A = this chain, B = another copy of it.
Amino acid sequence: MKGETKHKVQQMLKSARLRRTKPRSDILTALLKAHQPLTREQIAERIGACAPNKVTIYRALETFVAADIVHKAFVQNRTWYFELSHHCTADQCHPHFCCRCCGRTDCLHELHIPMTADSGGYIIQHQRVQLEGLCPKCSKSA
């Protein structure tokens, strides 16, 4: 169990040709366990007492994004949410939903948004779709 996660994380770093350090492993582990996008602060909280410095976390995430291990999923309240990119194709990430009532955000892995029209000379390397509205719970209680 734990060893499996640890091994997976080490493997991710190795195949991205990045140095295996404790902060990096801890950050990737937090993201791997989360199954949802996390902010820098949430990552630190989940790592706990001996979490890396915030600068270290930002720089590690930046490195991961450059290595395409991690995506910037969406922005909310001026802060970025990060998630592992293992569910995304190169050009298209899954949509993210934010509830205007309760504020929770969900990854909509199932909801596929095809891009029909040709893009007239634009080369699209990444697609980010943000949805806002009411989540199932809030829409029932409304």
Contacts and interface: CB of A to CB of B under 8 A. Distances in A.
Interface range on chain A (Cβ under 8 Å from partner): 20 to 34
A62 interface: no
Interface string A113-142: 111110111111111111111111001000
Contacts of A120: 110-111, 136
A103 to B, nearest CB: 14
A133 B123 contact: yes
- Number of this chain's copies in the complex: 2
A112 interface: yes
12 contacts: A97-B124, A106-B122, A111-B117, A111-B120, A119-B131, A120-B136, A121-B139, A122-B133, A122-B134, A122-B139, A123-B133, A124-B133
